[in-house]
Amino acid sequence: MADVGLFITDLALGLLLGCVFAVIAHGLNLIWGVAKVVNVAHGEFIMLGAYGAYFLSIWLGFNPLLSVPIDAAIGLAVGVGFYFGFLHRELRGKESMGLQSEMVTLVATFGLALVLINTAQSLWTGNNVGIPWSPGVVRVGSLQLPLGGLYVAIVSVAIIGLSHVFLSKTYLGNAIRAYSQDIPATQLVGINPTSTAAIGTALGFCITMAGGALLTVWLPTGIYPAMGNLYAPISFVIVVLGGPGKMWGSLVGGLTLGVIIDVGQLFLGGSIALATAIAFLTLIPVLLFRPEGILR
């Protein structure tokens, strides 16, 4: 039986980790809510954000925190490209996803996911890499917390907070929220649907890639091309837990999942893999008991 000190440490670590989870989930939430597209390749963009931070650390000596704004900028560009390349054709004139087009984007983004993974594998080989950045620890009471983890948690919360302020207080932000709820109504009040959707999508990718950079702090040896296979399901579970399109949900969901994984592995013989698997499978009962348009 684990002792209380270990439990509290894992709880704290889980919360810190959960903040970063919240960021990557928030990115997905924006893309899902605004572009109304379930981006199956979400994990691959997290991966790109992580590799971005990695290369910046090798070439320019940046630590992950410094990489965040650069990754974010790249994410914005990628998001705009994704919107106009992929989605604009599909969404033009359609207010909501019909079965046919829903299936099409699922398949298409799945194809994109594997293109990205295999390209990454060809370019960077499948070996694990990481950023050896360790600014030390901080003592809080009897707890010893990694400073790196604490810093990215703070940045994560800041990102989500900024996003929340943007979405609720600015004109553009409110337009994006309106769009995610009711496209025809948005048009009726004079908001340009294309630019709104494009910006919302861009923002989603921006936050996703920033999240990838932040995640690297927790992965000293854990950056590899297929890492998206782990973080995409995590993001999906979080978004569904909080409700797709509900913007604060990502934070709550992220913290919950972070805690489940870190505390869970304590009770499962130290196996992160098993704890993660269990965490994923929580998606199923959540979906079963949330009837808002999820069930047939």
Partner 1 sequence: MRLPAIRSFGPTLWGIGLFLIVLAGTAPWIPVFLLTVLIQLLIYATLAYSLNLITGLTGYVSFGHVVFMAFGGYALGIGVGTLNLHPVAGVALGAVVGLALALGIGVVTLRFRGVYFAIATLVVAVAALYIVLEIKELGDGQGIYLNIGFEPLSWFYTIWVILAIEVVFTYWITHGRIGYGIRSIKSDEDAAKTVGINAARVKLFLYALSGLFAGGAGGVYWWTLSGVFPYQAFDLTFSLQMLAMVVIGGMGTLLGPLIGAVAVYIPSYIFLTIFSGFQFIIIGVVVILIALFVPEGIVGSLRKYIPELRGILE
List residues near partner 1 by CB under 8 A: 38, 40, 86, 89-90, 99-100, 102-104, 106-108, 110-115, 118-119, 121-122, 229-230, 232-233, 236-237, 240, 271, 273-274, 276-278, 280-281, 283-284, 287-288, 293-296
Q: What is the dihedral of CA 241, 244, 249, 254, to 10 degrees?
A: 60
Whole-number minimum distance, CB 290 to partner 1, in Å? 10
CB closer to partner 1 out of 8 and 286: 286
CB closer to partner 1 out of 170 and 181: 181
Whole-number minimum distance, CB 59 to partner 1, in Å? 25
CB closer to partner 1 out of 77 and 103: 103
133's CB contacts (< 8 A; 6+ apart) are 57, 63, 64, 148, 217
Token output for 240? 């569904």
244 — phi, psi (to 5°)? -60, 130
Integer Cα distance of 172 and 280 in angstroms: 34
Integer Cα distance of 69 and 198 in angstroms: 20
CB closer to partner 1 out of 156 and 208: 208
Whole-number minimum distance, CB 19 to partner 1, in Å? 22
Whole-number minimum distance, CB 246 to partner 1, in Å? 16
Q: How far is CA 233 from CA 61, 120, 237, 257, 282, in A?
A: 31, 19, 6, 11, 11
Whole-number minimum distance, CB 116 to partner 1, in Å? 8
CB closer to partner 1 out of 131 and 232: 232
248 — phi, psi (to 5°)? -80, -15
21, burial (CB in 10 Å: exposed 0-12, middle 13-18, buried 19+)? buried
Q: What is the CA radius of gyration of the chain?
A: 19
248's CB contacts (< 8 A; 6+ apart) are 164, 242
Whole-number minimum distance, CB 285 to partner 1, in Å? 9
Integer Cα distance of 271 and 273 in angstroms: 5
Whole-number minimum distance, CB 231 to partner 1, in Å? 10
CB closer to partner 1 out of 23 and 239: 239
CB closer to partner 1 out of 145 and 277: 277
